[in-house]
Structure 1
Amino acid sequence: MATWSNIMLQNSNSPLMEELIFFYDHSMMVIILIVTYTLYLIFILLMNKFSYKNFIEHQILESVWTMIPCFFLLFIAIPSLYLLYLMDESKLPHITLKIMGHQWYWSYEYSDFKNIEFNSYISNSPDSSNFRLLDVDNHIIMPFKIQIRSLVSSTDVIHAWTIPSLGVKIDAIPGRLNQINFFINRPGLYFGQCSEICGTNHSFMPITLESINLSNFISWINKN
């Protein structure tokens, strides 16, 4: 969960988010290298008192400063494309969760288990133990160490179902069924919000996912 003064990404709770953080660190190192070298060259040019007024072209130099940015772009693009295809990969899911976006709440359906379905609204409980503007009245219950598939759509406008610590973000578009897979590493509460500006109450449709072990999940399914 994001906290005050948090300037980095949230702690990863899924293998996909771990890879995204690795890619973020990799990209930042490349960008810092480029910025540092560019600032160094600017500083050298500003401090240099000599000039060569007849210097108007240098084909080798122009080729070099064209090829070097291409090299850096490839250095970032190759792992980026790998991650892009990894996020779209569908790996034999064990559980399917159907998600529908509404103005302004979410509804969920466990179609694999007796068609369990419920709506999830922002919690208005005055209890101080709740997370303000992030907690909901009905949590999504999911087991960890299980491959999960989410089918996402909307009944009215475009929403976006997002849980940053799991590396999950997918648009909920009316008339279209989008799919995303995720794998939870550990038990806990994971929070997210709609990440698409869907109307006046856009900031009041949070997401709360509770991850539990498989035996407790089966007991919860049997009770419902």
Structure 2
Amino acid sequence: MRLSTFLTGLAASFAATGTAFAQDLPIIGQPVDGKLGFQPQATGIMQDVVWLDNFLLVIITIITLFVLGLLLFVILRFNQKNNPEPQTFTHNTPIEVAWTVVPIVILVFIGAFSLPVLFKEQIIPEGDVVIKATGYQWYWGYEYVDEGVEFESYMIGAAEGNMLTPDVSQQLADAGYTDEQFLLATDTSIVIPTGKVVVVQVTGADVIHSWTIPAFGVKQDAVPGRLAELWFEVDEGMEGIYFGQCSELCGLSHAYMPITVKAVTQADYDAWLSETKVAQGIVDDSVQVASAD
């Protein structure tokens, strides 16, 4: 796909953002000013990542308190006042063995819990929906591999110099967003069904990009000449809009290369797919009506 196919992407945008289900979706995966912590966990992968993060926080807190306690003990027990004559020993074999073996045991213990989470992400299952995401400077191109649907996704406001103008505000409103979603929302969106395995094939067309959705717990570099894969399954009941960003420095407009994913029910996904195929001329409208009958 090239920039010249923008009209195809524009046609798809009306199918992707113009239907009622798209307008009514809540915004779930969005960064919030002044907040700490993770975005809502919409997938099992992200739930595992958050659990692992909390688990490691407990371990590192224990280690930090232990080291702090040792430091305070040494300060109080071995200061010049309590030890006017310093000791002359140079090493302590039991302590040296302990501070070598104990960290190894801790790392093995952490690995026993972290590696399964990593392997879960790296073992790609068969996808119910397969999407190819191609990074360009500075937008994303998408292809639904098994459906023939393809379109490009630009940040709303990119054509106006990445500035929030009254015209851009109107574009955001027409797409069902507010000014708060400026720099996050795109003119077209990936639409996926909840409760289904989605496999995303990621590559780059010019430089290295990175396809990332924080609420899904996925991130994959888009390297030119290589086709990498990631997968996720959005939990049923988590229908909504999720935002991401290119997460690999890719040039002048790297900061203006967002990602928008709309997770919907299977019925709404089927409706969107049918409308998009008609809008792109993949399926004739009369054929769609006949198949519906």
Q: TM-score, normalised by structure 1?
A: 0.95
Corresponding position: 1:40 with 2:69:
yes
- Counterpart of 1:198 in structure 2 is 250
Corresponding position: 1:25 with 2:54:
yes
CA distance in 2, matches of 1:112, 1:61: 61
CA distance in 1, matches of 2:169, 2:41: 30
Corresponding position: 1:94 with 2:123:
no
- Counterpart of 2:150 in structure 1 is 117
Matching of residues 172-187 of structure 1 within 5 Å: 172-185=222-235, 186-187=238-239
More helix by share: 2
How far residue 84 of structure 1 moved from its aligned partner, in angstroms, is 1.3
Matching of residues 44-63 of structure 1 within 5 Å: 44-48=73-77, 49=79, 50-51=82-83, 53-63=87-97
Aligned residues: CA RMSD: 1.3
How far residue 2 of structure 1 moved from its aligned partner, in angstroms, is 1.7
- Counterpart of 1:188 in structure 2 is 240
Give, as a single letter, the amino acid of the residue that structure 2 aligns with 1:59: T
- Counterpart of 2:195 in structure 1 is 145
CA distance in 2, matches of 1:57, 1:117: 67
How far residue 45 of structure 1 moved from its aligned partner, in angstroms, is 1.1
- Counterpart of 1:126 in structure 2 is 169
Q: TM-score, normalised by structure 2?
A: 0.73
How far residue 72 of structure 1 moved from its aligned partner, in angstroms, is 1.4
Matching of residues 202-217 of structure 1 within 5 Å: 202-217=254-269
Greater RCO structure (CA 8 Å; 6+ sep): 2
Indicate the SS of the match to 1:109: strand
How far residue 111 of structure 1 moved from its aligned partner, in angstroms, is 2.0
Q: Which moved more, 1:75-84 or 1:162-171?
A: 75-84
1:23-72 CA distances to partner (integer Å, 9 max, x unpaired)?
A: 10111111111111101111111122444614333222221222111111
- Counterpart of 2:42 in structure 1 is 13
How far residue 206 of structure 1 moved from its aligned partner, in angstroms, is 0.2
Give, as a single letter, the amino acid of the residue that structure 1 aligns with 2:106: F
Over alpha carbons, which structure has the higher Rg?
2
More strand by share: 1
**Partner residue of 1:69 out of 97, 103, 106:** 103
CA distance in 2, matches of 1:177, 1:94: 19
Q: Which aligned runs of 4 or more in structure 1 are off by greater than 4 angstroms? A: none
CA distance in 2, matches of 1:121, 1:71: 49
CA distance in 2, matches of 1:78, 1:190: 31
Q: Which moved more, 1:51-60 or 1:205-214?
A: 51-60
How many equivalent pairs are there? Answer: 223
User: Which structure 1 segments of 5+ residues have no match?
Assistant: none
Give, as a single letter, the amino acid of the residue that structure 2 aligns with 1:174: P
1:66-107 CA distances to partner (integer Å, 9 max, x unpaired)?
A: 211111111212222111111111222111001111000001
User: Which structure 2 segments of 5+ residues have no match?
Assistant: 1-29, 158-167, 277-293
